[in-house]
Amino acid sequence: MIVETAPLRVARAMGTESEFGISQPGRPHANPMRDSARVVDAYAAPLGLKSAQAFWDFSGESPLADARGFLMSEAHADLTQLTHLPEAQPDAQYLANVVLPNGARYYVDHAHPEYSSPEVMTPREAVLFDRAGDRIAEASVRALAGTREPVTLYKNNTDSKGSSYGTHENYIVTRETDFEDLVAGLLPFFVTRQVLCGAGRVGLGRNAEEPGFQISSRADFFEEQVGLETTLRRPIVNTRDEPHADAHRWRRLHVIIGDATLAEPAMLVKMGTTSLVLGLIESGRCPQLTLADPVTALQTVSRDLGLGARLPLADGSTLSTLEIQRLYLDAARAAAGEGPDADTAEVLAEWDRFLTGLETDPLSLSADIDWVAKLALLEGYRARGLRWDDPKMQLVDVQYSDVRPEKGLFYRLEAAGRIRRLTTDAEVAAAVARAPESTRAHVRGGAARRFPRQVVAASWESLVLERSDGQMTRISQGGPEESTRAAVGDVVDSAATVDELADALTGARARD
């Protein structure tokens, strides 16, 4: 454990991954892999972007490396874990992959189209580029709307028929921090964080076999405290050790416990509070508490709409969800010190506002948190006589997350001023078109924007450019905070040819 007294800051390299639910209207048995590939291609093709399985460079990926110090053998891994071996996946011909002009990766993953945002440095940027992904998904739907096989995409996590798909987060963490310390600090936080950013869900149980409403759409699908898997035996803390950066200095915390977030204030709080808690753990200032049974507690919290349940601790005492969150907030405030920077101050203030609202009147946060907004909407239907087990209630639940603003109930609430926005349409449009300048995504996205047909392969750490004479040049981008606009200057925008860009970028890396 590292003990530091420097003021706590929220800034760190972070990003999101969203798998979208997909369906063909009137064709429930349509192949979702094929349709997901069509979704990616429909967006990529008009931009001149290459979309193919072979495009993504898997050579630097190691999804079977475990942060606890071992490497799972391929023979013991579930097929869904072998993401670095796309040829081994079912329907491998449909594994479309593309890098977008904003630095994101848009591809097919486990029968869903997935948007992996570019790396960003602040929660505000995370909100912006996650929202950009929602607009990219919407554009894909519209591109297929006039075809014989239109599709619908939903930013949710379950079909209420036993299937769940992921919304993940990624945070760069110093390698000097013991992974056991990360687990100890994160388990109580993740179990209770859902009250700040849960999506809400109609039905209890994996198959929604019991009537009711719960805070998290994902809680019923978690079975372990810690583990490597992401699609089975899902753990609260995932141990994948795949840093996409200098492995001697950094690890990438791959968070799979979160719900798909549409409300921007909740997204800000989700990313910001998690970054602050990671800072507390890294600096040895994290609250010390251990839940007796984190998996059971996770599901207890999800069903506790009154937020009063007592969660048993390992020492025999109990704390409520909000009391645990307050412990983390108080520690973060103390560690941030007097006069924190603006981004840190905003997250601390919103964290406090959310907890105060949940303590006094949860419905006062219906403009900020998806589960509260959804509950308020559904209570209106219940007031008209519908029961929780009425099929119409599940339809409303699904329709909340439709990515089309004219169809999605979330967007209709937002347009009516009933959900608060942090971004503007102009800012989101810019984030769709251009990468953030504060990370290496600046180079990756800029190359895809300027010379889409000459970007022949890419990964998070590098890209391969095809020169005018047909020769290939690999550009190493280094860690997330390298290859930024400040580091490479205006070469991405000023290069007249791909050769000029390649020469400038290789020269910049050599100087670094």
pLDDT value for 92: 64
Q: Sorting pLDDT into bands at 50, 70 and 90, what band is 511?
A: very low
Burial profile 208-244: b = 16 or more Cβ within 10 angstroms, e = fewer? beeeebbbbbbbbbbebbbbbbbbeebbbbbbbbbbb
Asked if pLDDT for residue 28 goes beyond 70, the answer is: yes
Mean pLDDT of the 34-54 span: 88
Burial profile 438-469: b = 16 or more Cβ within 10 angstroms, e = fewer? bbbbbbbbbbbbbbbebbebbbbbbbbbbeee
N- to C-terminal Cα distance for the chain?
Answer: 30
Taking the complete model, does pTM exceed 0.85, yes or no? yes
pLDDT value for 163: 85
Q: Sorting pLDDT into bands at 50, 70 and 90, what band is 31?
A: very high
Average pLDDT, the chain: 92
Mean pLDDT of the 178-197 span: 97
The C-alpha atoms of residue 317 and residue 315 are separated, in whole angstroms, by: 6
Pairing of strands 152-154, 21-23: antiparallel
Asked if pLDDT for residue 71 goes beyond 80, the answer is: no
pLDDT value for 143: 97
Supply angle C-alpha 434, 413, 363, rounded to 5. 115
pLDDT value for 77: 57
Assigned token pair, 289: 């508490």
Mean pLDDT of the 188-197 span: 98
Pair 465, 498: CB distance under 8 Å: yes
Q: Of the candidates 31, 50, 25, which has an alpha carbon nearest to the alpha carbon of residue 106?
A: 50
pLDDT value for 251: 95
Name the active-site residue from 109, 130, 241, 259: 109
Pairing of strands 14-19, 112-116: antiparallel
For residue 56, what is the DSSP state?
Answer: B
Asked if pLDDT for residue 124 goes beyond 50, the answer is: yes
The C-alpha atoms of residue 87 and residue 108 are separated, in whole angstroms, by: 13
Would you call 109 a catalytic residue per the annotation? Answer: yes
- Higher confidence at residue 52 or residue 447? 447
313-341, pLDDT tens digit by residue? 999 999 999 999 999 999 999 999 999 99
Mean pLDDT of the 288-299 span: 98
The C-alpha atoms of residue 269 and residue 265 are separated, in whole angstroms, by: 6
Asked if pLDDT for residue 87 goes beyond 80, the answer is: no
pLDDT value for 57: 77
Of the chain, the percentage scoring pLDDT greater than 90 comes to 84
Of the chain, the percentage scoring pLDDT greater than 70 comes to 91
CB neighbours (10 Å) of residue 141? 21
Lowest mean pLDDT among 83-97, 171-185, 254-268, 361-375: 83-97
> Under 8 Å CB-to-CB from 147, ≥6 apart: which residues?
none
Bridge partners of 204? 210
Pairing of strands 210-214, 201-204: antiparallel
Half-sphere exposure for 283 (CA within 13 Å, toward CB): 18
Q: Sorting pLDDT into bands at 50, 70 and 90, what band is 510?
A: very low
224-242, pLDDT tens digit by residue? 999 877 777 899 999 988 8
User: Measuring CA to CA, how many Å separate 283 from each of 159, 241, 419?
Assistant: 40, 21, 36
Q: Of the candidates 441, 449, 495, which has an alpha carbon nearest to the alpha carbon of residue 468?
A: 495
Q: Sorting pLDDT into bands at 50, 70 and 90, what band is 356?
A: very high
The C-alpha atoms of residue 68 and residue 228 are separated, in whole angstroms, by: 10
Asked if pLDDT for residue 507 goes beyond 70, the answer is: yes
pLDDT value for 54: 60
pLDDT value for 72: 64
443-468, pLDDT tens digit by residue? 999 999 999 999 999 999 999 999 99
Pair 170, 17: CB distance under 8 Å: yes
Asked if pLDDT for residue 508 goes beyond 70, the answer is: no
Asked if pLDDT for residue 52 goes beyond 90, the answer is: no
Asked if pLDDT for residue 381 goes beyond 60, the answer is: yes
pLDDT value for 66: 72
For residue 206, what is the DSSP state?
Answer: T
pLDDT value for 56: 83
Mean pLDDT of the 107-134 span: 96
